[in-house]
Structure 1
Amino acid sequence: MLDPVEKDSKGMPLTCRSVFIVDPSKKLRLSILYPATTGRNFDEILRVLDSLQLTDTKKVATPVDWQIGKQCMILPTVPEAEAKQLFPQGFETVSVPSNKGYIRKVLP
């Protein structure tokens, strides 16, 4: 893909830089397109890869800036009884104004 805004000294569009993560079943799991003027953040790419691997095996979601060994969120679709089975070490339910217990933090 070409960046129509950024051009080289001859006026030719510069190429955009793409990152794709494809799983073993050939399913596209991540696609990032960087403008020609923006560098790629490999720490973020590795963080996303770690998150994808974790969330493929556990019923959790990872928050922004998550790192291995840090708390995740139990998926809100997981019933309380199942969450207790999946995470016998326990989890923290965050109090919210609605009094619904859908925000649950856990160390996976």
Structure 2
Amino acid sequence: MLDPDERDKEGIPLTARAAFIIGPDKRLKLSILRVIDSLQLTAKHSVATPVNWTHGNKVMVVPSVSDEQATRKFPKGFETARLPSGKGYIRTTPQPDLP
């Protein structure tokens, strides 16, 4: 795969250093760089990335982190989704910095 924006000194496109998984329906199923970013965020910050997450979007606070812990851990705050059940386990916060 060639990166149309990155070129060498002769103007030839450089190869993109990423891997993509394409399904039988010819749609993108997985981008390896996205997965690595997601895994790093989860390991360092106790957050999860939703299925449609891209770098810089909001992430989800994992349920094992209490609201008190989340208040200390995420200085930009977090939002709790209103659910019919009244449970507050879906919480989002701005993406923390990647390591």
Question: What range describes the TM-score normalised by the shorter chain of this pair?
Answer: 0.5 to 0.7
Q: Distance in 2 between matches of 1:55 and 1:97?
A: 27
* 88 and 42 in structure 1: CA distance in 2 versus 1, 3 angstrom threshold: same
- Say which one has the larger Rg: 1
Q: Distance in 2 between matches of 1:43 and 1:76?
A: 25
Residue 63 of structure 2 aligns with an amino acid whose one-letter code is P
TM-score (ref. length: structure 2)? 0.64
Task: Note the residue ranges of structure 2 that are not aligned, 5 or more in a row.
Answer: 1-20
Post-superposition offset of 1:86? 0.4
Task: Note the residue ranges of structure 1 that are not aligned, 5 or more in a row.
Answer: 1-32
Q: Highest relative contact order (Cα 8 Å, sep 6+), 1 or 2?
A: 2
Candidates 69, 76, 87, aligned match of 1:89: 76
Describe the superposition over 1:28-84 as per-residue Cα deviations: whole angstroms up to 9, x where unpaired.
Answer: xxxxx989x798x59611111111111111010001121111011000111110010
Describe the superposition over 1:72-108 as per-residue Cα deviations: whole angstroms up to 9, x where unpaired.
Answer: 1000111110010001211111000111111001112
RMSD: 2.6
Q: Distance in 1 between matches of 2:85 and 2:52?
A: 26
Residues paired across the two proteins, number: 75
* 43 and 81 in structure 1: CA distance in 2 versus 1, 3 angstrom threshold: same
* 42 and 98 in structure 1: CA distance in 2 versus 1, 3 angstrom threshold: closer
Residue 60 of structure 1 aligns with an amino acid whose one-letter code is V
Q: Which residue of 1 is the match for residue 89 of structure 2?
A: 102
Alignment partner of 1:57 is 2:40: no
